[in-house]
Amino acid sequence: MTSKKKRSRSNRRRKPSRESTVTLSSSPSPSPSRSVSNKIENSRKKEDFEVEKIVIDSFDSYYKILMEYLNEEHWLSTETVAPLLSLQHEHCKCPFLLLEDANETLPERPYVESIFDDIILMHLAAAYYVSKKKYYTAYNLQLLIVNTFSKELLNKEKDSNWYLPLLGVFCSDLRILAKMSEETDRELDKEPYLEDVANVIMSLYRVCVSDSRPDLRATKKVAIIPMTVELFRVYFDMNKMALLKPLIRSVEILNSSFITLMSLSDLVAYNYFLGKKAIFDGDTYMQTANKALQHAFEYCPERFWISRRNILIYWLPVKMYLGLIPTPEILKEYDLQEFLPIVEGVNHGDIRQFRQGLSDHSHFFLSSGIFLMLEKLTSLTHLALFKRLHFVVKSERIKLQAYLHLLKFVGEDIDDIDEAGNIIAGLIVGGRIKGYISQSHQLVLLSKQEPFTQIVEK
Amino acid sequence: METATPFASMKRAERKAESNKMVKEYSRPAADKNVYLEDVRPYEVLIITTEYLLGLLDSYQQKNQWQIVYGFIADRFRAIRQDLIVQQLPPQQIIRLLELQIPFYLNARKLCEDLKIQNYDKKLHHSEMDETFSRWLEASKNGGEISDEIMKAYVYYYLNKENIAYEIIEVFGFTEASAELLNLVFAYLNKNYSRFFQILKDLKVDYLRNALWIHVGSLRLEALETFRMAFGAKGVIFPLDVLADLLAFPSIKSLDECLKLLFNLPNGIPIPFSFFGLSISAIDSSQLTQHWYSV
């Protein structure tokens, strides 16, 4: 990571006001790669590294800084200014950059022949339309940006990849605009937006995957992981999780040198989606889900509280499924009080509290997509209840009738002793209980040594 | 079905057509084929046609007639759906038409498989069922009001679908009817075989039983594998009549055939029956014979 000492010309002319300026530090992205963030951390400690802030207070300064950095045709320069072409960056709030047609503002632009000139103007026009809540128009402009980038850079530039940091930015904006258009401007275009976005991003992904150059400075393969993360987001939004499988396989067979180049945000995001997908794949993939979500949580910096909370929303049910009960402290720290009755219910076999918790917070659990996952914890609640019965009875021989009676007492809608037997059978097969059932005596016979397995986690 | 004697064995040239029995057949779409507006039947005609076709089911109920009746009705229903799609009817009209067709498809599947009908193509039938249900669901999402019974049929049919629980809540909302269906979905997810088979036994409406019936084979397989582990200790017997009742087998004989296949017992089932010492054959749900689906 190099320190770029660039001074805006406008700095010499007048002092910029806080409301109408954007400052861009030389730190390249909100989530720098691990090696870069370590370097910055170390240098901050040493106090021999100054990060210069670049001030943008006019279209002129914005344009010139962007073009100067992009004309260097260097990965780090592109990465530095990539946020200035993102609709999610704060510069899109500056009134002097919300330009429907920047040709009028600065007709005599020094780099008017450059393809980036077109891209910058389209980007600012898209920002303008977003500010006017005309998402459909902004979406079409963004589509044009992506197509221009693809045609003029991705497909034409063969032996370089310095422009690739922009790919993730453009695709991310395209996806977000597609979602907003679908929500607000459905009547303008009835075709499914996200499907179009998926097709566009997939075509870019294929170009990157098919590049066989070995040189890391030239190969487009370095963009596979950010593109994979974008596709993950799209396919999750479309609820087409089956399409994630080939993407995951491609990453698994990727050369380790590409994995080390992964940015921290991509690493966290990739593991987060991997974990989510494993949850939806079913019970046999809980270990995979646990590992991936643990990785995502541990690598997600603490200052990204919302991201860590989002990871926990999926990790907590997985942990509980594997036999680990979260503490009330962590629920409080991450404002996940909705899980409290679930945790209490599963821990103490309090089925009433468990079901009440599911019902009271059903909207939260449904919108998070974990309602079914939590419903599966019913078997663990039944297990905890059975353990309490075992504790009271103090015998390895427990009558099914007693368990049925207890289930009905705690409010379960079960009339049939066969159903009570079914519940126990499921727990035996699932490895939670060691023992067997005698059909003729209607008895559960537990193993004398450790009838209940502790943690299923491996 | 459009002739005077549809079930008589005679040469094609000898058949006498009856115009009052003629119904527009399905026409495969092609790039060079034009759809003429005057050929598209309006909603009122589609309703009358559907009711006429359903009337044929009541008129011809003998098993030896089924092959011809099934082939005819399935094709004509497909033609009705074709006209329905082309003219983009309002959601409520779509629902009305499709809710008349859905029970036929559900009942027809079982009957065709039981009678081993020659012109029955399982995959085609399944895709037509999917198409019918998907248009019905789409019409419901677009504001049409659906019947509780067909909603049940939909959930029963797609019980093993990944996101069926979310679909119930998203499309049908939280109602008493949907809560009951969610309970069944959760019972299925939590491997509560007892509840599933009890619901199957309690169902009185044919097409609802047949919607649930498609899952019977795989659930029985899973249940027996579970019981082998949970009830498989030495000296523990499991009466066959209890097992047959638990898994809703119509007779011990059908259960016997399934046990012989699953546990590789060519010489018969040991009496008294015990799961102890039995080893499982490697079979999956695609290899299940008719006995696994007997109800």
Average pLDDT over residues B39-54: 91
Q: Which helix (H) or strand (E) holds B109?
A: helix B91-115
Distance from CA of A360 to the nearest CA of B (A): 13
- Residue A205: predicted pLDDT: 94
Taking contacts as CB-CB distances below 8 angstroms, the residues of chain B near A413 are: 183
Contacts of A134 (CB under 8 A, 6+ apart): A185
Average pLDDT over residues B186-210: 91
Pick B232's closest partner by Cβ from A371, A379, A436: A436
Contact B236 A439 (CB under 8 A): yes
- Residue A50: predicted pLDDT: 53
pTM of the model: 0.79
Contact A32, A261 (CB under 8 A): no
Taking contacts as CB-CB distances below 8 angstroms, the residues of chain B near A371 are: 165-166
Average pLDDT over residues B203-224: 93
Contact A436 B194 (CB under 8 A): no
Quickly state the pLDDT bin for B38 (edges 50, 70, 90). Answer: confident
Contact B239 A239 (CB under 8 A): no
- Residue B32: predicted pLDDT: 64
- Residue A13: predicted pLDDT: 37
Q: Please, which residues 238-257 of chain B have a Cβ atom closer than 8 Å to chain A?
A: 238-239, 242, 246
Pick B236's closest partner by Cβ from A378, A425, A438: A438
> What are the angstrom distances between the C-alpha of A453 and each of A323, A392, A431, A446?
9, 19, 7, 12
Best B88, B171, B195 member to test A by mutation, with max A CBs in 10 Å, is: B195
In degrees and rounded to multiples of 5, residue A33 shows phi and psi of -65, 160
The domain spans of chain B are: 1-144, 147-213, 216-293
Contacts of A242 (CB under 8 A, 6+ apart): none
Tell me, rounded to whole angstroms, the distance of Cα A5 from its chain centroid. Answer: 34
Dihedral angle of Cα A115, A118, A121, A124, to the nearest 10 degrees:
-70
Helix H, strand E, coil C: the string for chain A is CCCCCCCCHHHHHCCCCHHHCEEEECCCCCCCEHHHHHHHHHHHHHCCCCCCEEEECCHHHHHHHHHHHHHCCCHHHHHHHHHHHCCCCHHHHCHHHCCCCHHHHCCCCCCCCCHHHHHHHHHHHHHHHHHCCCHHHHHHHHHHHHHHHHHHHHCCCCCCCCCCHHHHHHHHHHHHHHHHHHHHCHHHCCCCHHHHHHHHHHHHHHHHHCCCCCCCCCCHHHHHHHHHHHHHHHHHHCCCHHHHHHHHHHHHCCCHHHHHCCEHHHHHHHHHHHHHHHHHHCHHHHHHHHHHHHHHHHHCCCCCHHHHHHHHHHHHHHHHHCCCCCCHHHHHHCCCHHHHHHHHHHHHCCHHHHHHHHHHCHHHHHHHCCHHHHHCCHHHHHHHHHHHHHHHHCCCEEEHHHHHHHHHHCCCCCCCHHHHHHHHHHHHHCCCECEEEECCCCEEEECCCCCECCCCCC
Q: Please, which residues 306-345 of chain A have a Cβ atom closer than 8 Å to chain B?
A: none
CATH classification of A389-457, choosing from 1.10.1370.30, 3.40.50.300, 3.30.70.360, 1.10.10.10?
1.10.10.10
- Residue B289: predicted pLDDT: 83
Contact A280 B162 (CB under 8 A): yes
Q: What is chain A's pLDDT, residue by residue, as a tens digit (458 residues)?
A: 233 333 333 333 334 344 455 666 544 433 334 433 334 444 444 444 555 677 888 888 899 999 999 999 999 899 999 999 999 999 999 988 888 888 877 788 888 889 999 999 999 999 999 999 999 999 999 999 999 999 999 988 888 899 999 999 999 999 999 999 988 876 666 667 888 999 999 999 999 988 888 888 888 988 999 999 999 999 988 888 889 999 999 888 887 777 777 888 899 999 999 999 998 887 778 899 999 999 999 999 999 999 999 999 999 999 999 989 999 999 999 999 999 999 999 999 999 999 999 989 988 998 888 988 898 899 999 999 999 999 999 999 999 999 999 999 998 888 889 999 999 999 999 889 999 999 999 999 999 888 998 655 44
Query: Which of B167, B163, B284, B157 lies closest to B215 in space, CA to CA?
Result: B157
**Neighbour-count burial of B122, counting CB atoms closer than 10 A to its CB (0-12 exposed, 13-18 middle, 19+ buried):** exposed
- Residue B149: predicted pLDDT: 93
Mean pLDDT, chain B, as a whole number?
Answer: 88
- Comparing B176 with A195, which gets the higher pLDDT? A195
Taking contacts as CB-CB distances below 8 angstroms, the residues of chain B near A418 are: 194, 246
Contact A90, A24 (CB under 8 A): no
- Residue A295: predicted pLDDT: 94
User: What value of ipTM does the predicted structure carry?
Assistant: 0.85
Helix H, strand E, coil C: the string for A104-128 is HHCCCCCCCCCHHHHHHHHHHHHHH
Structure confidence by residue, pLDDT tens digits, B131-163: 999 999 999 988 899 999 999 999 999 998 878
Distance from CA of A436 to the nearest CA of B (A): 5
Average pLDDT over residues B254-266: 90
- Comparing A3 with B201, which gets the higher pLDDT? B201
Closest residue on chain A to B246 (Cα): A418
Contact A258, A217 (CB under 8 A): no
- Residue A3: predicted pLDDT: 32
Q: In the A/B pair of chains, how many CB contacts fall below 8 A?
A: 75
The domain spans of chain A are: 16-208, 389-457
- Residue A306: predicted pLDDT: 95
